[in-house]
Amino acid sequence: MTLVELLVALTVFGIVITVTLGFVAKQNTAFHTGIERLGALRNVRYAVDALVQDLETLGTNVPATQPSLIYGDENVVVFSADYAANVSDPFAVFHDPDAPAGQVQAPTGSFTIPTTAHTAADTAYTVGPGVPSPAEILSFFFVPDTLTARADDFLLVRQVNGGAPEVLARHLLRVGATPFFAYERVMLDGSGAPAMEVVADSLLPVHHTAPVHLSQADTGQSARADSIRTIRVSLRGTNGLVGADERVVETTRLIALPNAGLTTLNTCGSAPIFGEALTASVVTLAGGEKVVELEWDPAVDELGGEADVVRYVIWRRETGQLDWAEPYMALPAGAPSYAYTDATVESGTSYQFAVAAQDCTPSLSSLAASGSVVVP
């Protein structure tokens, strides 16, 4: 082999090696990029799967007096569910014999909702006298990650009742200006048919401010939480790097709440005991109208006893009639005292009123009747 042939062979060999090494380098870069993208994908998928798994249990085996969705804004969602049990509980979603005692039933005291100034569990939720509700309160919330250099990096945190928070995922980002949590509620459209609508930002936070679900105070803004049927989660996951090495995966997921709007009534025992007096008096309104105002205190079995009173039923009849006929009105239980104003009475007529307590069976107590009252 001549020197020229050797130089030509070396040149060709060098070109082949250069091309081959370039190809291998590109393949290696593509491989590492794929691994990093897979890491980001697994990170965001784990966060979303954790939210789906828990949020879908919202409302599971929750007593009627305990709200299912307690609080929701763009970064925080708080709800009730019989999620875990460390003893035999056929209605719990999961059985975990190692679950701490403070995380398998309703909290025994109120606690501040994470990242907010609002509170949850402002009353003791029970299924009977001295028996706590099996439904614990779960909170999911996004907070900035202070351990990274970037200001838009978030952690996903989970908390049971008022216990210690647990970090589920990190390196999470917003999808532009889209909130982490968005809500859809069921409404009636113009034809009266049910329809879904997105809860506007101006209506957030959705907060069940009434401590007792279905109580007299559970109306208006407090009751808005009961109409939520889906929660949309939007986020981006990264591999934790910045610059050219950063890999980002974006996802959005609409999570249905199949148990939202359902309530589990307590199994009631004996017929409720009312044990309180009913007073009826004529009151003159500012416009001169004459009305009858009824007043009574909570039944014996609302604040104690079987603690199973869910409403009060009112009857009205003209004095002298022997039959109470059909009930006239019903009011939900849960107030410190009760008053009802009857503005449909007629002048010159004498009336008698009666009230009974009703439990969740439903059974009625004996009637507490008022004296006769004459409308001038």
Structural domains present in the chain: 36-256 (no CATH), 279-374 (2.60.40.10)
pLDDT of residue 270: 81
At 304, is the pLDDT very low, low, confident or very high (cuts 50, 70, 90)? confident
pLDDT of residue 372: 95
pLDDT at 284 over 80: yes
Contacts of 239 by beta carbon, 8 Å cutoff, 6+ apart = 36, 37, 39, 40, 43, 171, 245, 246, 247
Contacts of 85 by beta carbon, 8 Å cutoff, 6+ apart = 92, 94, 95, 96, 99, 104, 134
Ranking 21-30, 72-81, 273-282, 311-320 by mean pLDDT, the lowest is 21-30
Place of tokens 């001295």: 130
Percent of the chain with pLDDT over 70: 91
State the average pLDDT over residues 55-84.
Answer: 94
At 264, is the pLDDT very low, low, confident or very high (cuts 50, 70, 90)? low
pLDDT of residue 344: 93
pLDDT of residue 297: 96
Query: pLDDT, tens digit, for every residue of 349-370?
Result: 999 999 999 887 778 899 999 9
At 35, is the pLDDT very low, low, confident or very high (cuts 50, 70, 90)? low
CA distance 375 to 348: 5
pLDDT at 31 over 60: no
State the average pLDDT over residues 304-317.
Answer: 87
Q: Are 127 and 63 in contact (CB under 8 A)?
A: yes
pLDDT at 1 over 80: no
Place of tokens 């999470």: 172
pLDDT of residue 309: 87
At 265, is the pLDDT very low, low, confident or very high (cuts 50, 70, 90)? low
Identify the residue with better confidence: 315 or 41. 315
User: What backbone torsions phi and psi does residue 159 show, to the nearest 5 degrees?
Assistant: -140, 140
pLDDT of residue 89: 76
What integer best gives the mean pLDDT of the chain? Answer: 87
Alpha-carbon torsion 81, 85, 87, 92, what sign? positive
CA distance 81 to 58: 5
* Tokens read off for 304: 């104690």
Query: pLDDT, tens digit, for every residue of 7-21?
Result: 777 788 788 888 777
User: What backbone torsions phi and psi does residue 118 show, to the nearest 5 degrees?
Assistant: -90, 160
Q: Are 63 and 126 in contact (CB under 8 A)?
A: yes
Identify the CA nearest to 85 among candidates 110, 66, 60: 60
pTM tops 0.85: no
At 80, is the pLDDT very low, low, confident or very high (cuts 50, 70, 90)? very high
pLDDT of residue 258: 92
User: What backbone torsions phi and psi does residue 40 show, to the nearest 5 degrees?
Assistant: -65, -40
